[in-house]
């Protein structure tokens, strides 16, 4: 196996006592596109925040053979990036160029290197001609693409997408699904969009009330109507 993420007996409780994750274990191999599905409150988004150390878990998260701890979190967080559900949470500069450049600049790259990365990212994410636009004047679908671009420019080893097709029209959904396919590499997608799972993922993890209820290939899991109904997905 070529595992890049190993999660062992992961649990997490919020300060109010809500136990959002309960003894969750799984492994993800390199270059796989994995969906994490479940109803609202299943613990999906909390799981993503535990994987990159925004929230520190109980149990063990191992990334590329290194355990996530307070000492390693800064190093490992650069290798696993999250694209948030609401792009407005990720965009804060006066124009798209600056938003895409923000990560590379803060990694200490020189201006010429940053400019090259931004231009490559703009081309890859089909944002040509929008570089000087204020992100808050864009359509919602364009904002979603820019949010992905801000992560792509940092060249992470693992991409995490939180509800990437939420609130998009059919064309916008197809565009985002296509970008996720094109990006390639190791990708984790938290979503209610089972059509997206079928389109781009090979593996599925099902959470229900913080517990891993199932894991397997897409066809097996999504054909189990009893499981999907039990977990609020049908």
Mean pLDDT over the full length of the chain: 94
Q: Residue 74: which residues within 8 A CB-CB, separation 6 or more? A: none
Cβ atoms of residues 100 and 150 within 8 Å = yes
pLDDT at 1: 53
Whether pLDDT at 172 is above 70: yes
Model confidence over 53-63: pLDDT tens digits?
999 889 999 99
Q: Mean pLDDT over residues 202-225, rounded?
A: 96
pLDDT at 112: 95
pLDDT at 57: 83
pLDDT at 173: 93
Give dist(CA 32, CA 12) in Å, integer: 25
Domain around 184: 3-230
Q: Which two tokens stand for residue 192?
A: 């209610």
Model confidence over 146-164: pLDDT tens digits?
999 999 999 999 999 999 9
Overall residue count recorded for the chain in this entry: 234
Give dist(CA 109, CA 118) in Å, integer: 12
Q: Mean pLDDT over residues 71-98, rounded?
A: 93
Whether pLDDT at 139 is above 60: yes
Which residue in 170, 225, 221, 179 sits closest to 200, CA to CA? 179
Q: Mean pLDDT over residues 173-184, rounded?
A: 93
Q: Is 169 left (phi over 0), alpha (psi -120 to 50) or beta?
A: beta
Number of domains in the chain: 1
Give dist(CA 90, CA 192) in Å, integer: 21
pLDDT at 180: 95
Whether pLDDT at 165 is above 70: yes
Q: Specify the CATH number for the domain of residue 71.
A: 3.40.50.300
Model confidence over 88-127: pLDDT tens digits?
999 999 999 999 999 999 989 999 999 999 999 999 998 9
pLDDT at 171: 92
């Amino acid at each position: 196996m070529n595992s890049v993420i190993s999660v062992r007996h992961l649990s997490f409780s919020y300060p109010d006592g809500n136990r959002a994750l309960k003894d969750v274990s799984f492994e993800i191999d390199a270059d796989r596109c994995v969906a994490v599905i479940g109803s609202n409150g299943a613990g999906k988004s909390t799981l993503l925040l535990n994987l990159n150390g925004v929230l520190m878990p109980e149990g063990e998260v191992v990334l590329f053979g290194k355990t996530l701890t307070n000492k390693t979190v800064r190093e490992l967080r650069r290798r696993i990036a999250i694209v948030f559900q609401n792009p407005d949470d990720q965009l804060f500069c006066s124009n798209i160029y600056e938003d895409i450049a923000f990560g590379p600049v803060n990694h200490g790259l020189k201006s010429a290197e940053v400019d090259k990365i931004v231009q490559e990212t703009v081309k890859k994410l089909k944002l040509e001609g929008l570089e000087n636009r204020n992100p808050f004047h864009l359509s919602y679908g364009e904002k979603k693409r820019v949010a992905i671009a801000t992560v792509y420019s940092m060249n992470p080893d693992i991409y995490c997408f939180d509800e990437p097709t939420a609130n998009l029209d059919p064309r916008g959904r197809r565009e985002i699904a296509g970008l996720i396919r094109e990006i390639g590499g190791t990708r984790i997608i938290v979503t209610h969009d089972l059509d997206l799972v079928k389109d781009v993922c090979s593996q599925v993890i099902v959470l229900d009330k913080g517990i891993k209820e199932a894991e397997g290939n897409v066809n097996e899991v999504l054909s189990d109507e009893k499981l999907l109904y039990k977990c609020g997905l049908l």
